[in-house]
Structure 1
Amino acid sequence: MTVRNLGKKFKNLSANLQNLPWALIAPSDNPNGLILRSLRATTSTLVISAIQPPVSARETDYLIIPKSRTEYDDLLVPAGNGVFAFHRNQYSNVIKMSWDLLSADGTTE
């Protein structure tokens, strides 16, 4: 059995926000694509979108990342797309994630 790689970039945060779309990785920070290596979100819904969702948006209008998706597999986020969190109206919305950016030839940087 091989050991999974963890991403070179990471975020470990705890946010106390309302149910608003919040950028974890902006589309402008993803010029060639990225690979999510690990992702854990307690009460937040994470989505992929090419634009910042407006304040009035619902998470069901976007491509939702299933909570268990990156436990065992990596997830490719296409170039020009970002990862956004819709937080619940609760305290301590914990998100832990790691990722690798791709270079123009498709290899990890």
Structure 2
Amino acid sequence: MVAEQLAAALGTPLVYAYPQVAVADAAFRVTLNVQRLDATRGVAVDDELLWTVRRVADGQLRSGRSHGRAVPVDASYDALAAAHVEALAAVSGDIARAIGELATR
């Protein structure tokens, strides 16, 4: 999900999730470390991830901790899944900004 959201945020289809696709000539590599995925149906979703973006050309790094929170529209599992997507969008946005910073340096 994060790869799809990054592709949308960066405006490029050239975002791949490892190990499904390994790209030798990638410009950036992103590592995710999930710290917490909490969810209570009908109440809230809290996702917390540590992430690192590395520019392959010179090894420059940007790291961060992102927290996404969303409230499901109801107590269904579909609503819970949709809330996780919404919460992860905040994480993806933080990572996209870090990539943008590295791309302009």
TM over 0.5: no
- TM-score category (smaller protein): under 0.3
Name the structure, 1 or 2, with higher relative contact order (CA <8 Å, separation 6+).
1
TM-score (norm 2): 0.25
TM-score (norm 1): 0.25
Instruction: Please say which structure displays the higher CA radius of gyration.
Output: 2
